[in-house]
Amino acid sequence: MTDAAAATPEPASALSQDELNRLTDQLIEKLKTVYDPEIPVDIYELGLIYKVDVSDDKDVAIEMTLTAPGCPVAGEMPGWVKDAVMEIPGLKSCAVDLVFDPPWDSSRMSDEAKLQLNMF
């Protein structure tokens, strides 16, 4: 007696590792085009991007934060991020959610961002 589920192989991921690597590079490139207007450093280097998920169907889900909850561009920044990401050919959708836990602090910044802001 065979179990039909056990006999059915798991479907392979729609994204190969090479394609996922390429897409990751493109996502980082696009995220680096979005800047906090009050700080001359892109949101990626500032450490505002907490999580990026890409589904096999090329739906992108991003969790990000702001340098402060009262940031004047809080209502606009997710749209800027979505617009930048959706410039990547072949993506189906992009959802950007603002999260404030954990709160952002300067330790999340890259060395490049700290250098740009003279914080060493």
What pLDDT, in 10s, does the model give residues 69-84?
Answer: 888 888 899 999 999 9
CATH code of 92's domain: 3.30.300.130
Residue 4 domain flag: no
Residue 65 domain flag: yes
d(CA 99, CA 83): 19
63 DSSP β-pair partners? 51, 97
Q: pLDDT (tens digit, 9 = 90+) per residue, 43-58?
A: 999 999 999 999 999 9
Residue 92 domain flag: yes
Q: Which structural domain, as residue segments, surrounds residue 52?
A: 30-103
Q: How many domains would you assign to the chain? A: 1
At a CB cut-off of 8 Å and minimum separation 6, what does 53 contact?
Answer: 60, 61, 62
42 DSSP β-pair partners? 35
Q: pLDDT (tens digit, 9 = 90+) per residue, 1-17?
A: 444 444 544 455 578 99
